[in-house]
Amino acid sequence: MAVSGTINVNASFLETLSETSCETERKLSLASANVPASSKVAIVSGTCGTSAATLTFLSPGYTDPNGDAVEFSGINTVDGVAFVADTKATLVCLNESAGSPIGEAGHSFKVSSQDNIVAITAVPSRSGGILGELTMNIFCQNVSVTTANYSLLMWGT
């Protein structure tokens, strides 16, 4: 079994100011290309509503090419997550037992996607991992949107 992958993000903003006989441009660019050293990958698709759909790392419901279920023992073994939704949806992994501010400790993240735009975050390993972080919640956060089709790609070891 072998996994190879690439994660690329490339953003470029060009700001143009036109005045008489003069044009000023300012460019902001941010890019990264990453080859994760991951040995597991899973992609999960589904539909969510305003009530959270729960996805468990232990059994995300994905099988590898050999037909074996892909399992992550917890958020400690996930290196990164990419999330996309066709309307508007939010993916949350929270350490709900931590004190305020929420998500200050552990591996929490909260990414949102709309109109099929991918959101992506690293999930770096930290000492003192939180046992409760075994699941992620996916839900429609925006009041005007009550259902969304989503896909979630996660990679790790």
Residues that bind another protein in the complex, under the rule CB under 8 A:
1-18, 24-26, 28, 30-32, 34, 38, 41-43, 64-66, 82, 84, 88, 90, 92, 94, 100-104, 108-114, 116-124, 126, 141-142, 151, 153, 155
- Here the tokens at position 145 are 């949107």
Least gap, CB of 145 to another protein (angstroms): 8
Least gap, CB of 73 to another protein (angstroms): 18
Cα dihedral 62/65/69/75 (nearest 10): -60
Closer CB to another protein, 77 or 108, in the complex: 108
Least gap, CB of 74 to another protein (angstroms): 16
Cα distance between residue 63 and residue 42, in whole Å: 8
Residue 5 CB neighbours (<10 A): 13
Q: Please say whether the beta carbons of 136 and 54 come within 8 A.
A: yes
Cα distance between residue 53 and residue 110, in whole Å: 14
Closer CB to another protein, 20 or 31, in the complex: 31
Least gap, CB of 11 to another protein (angstroms): 4
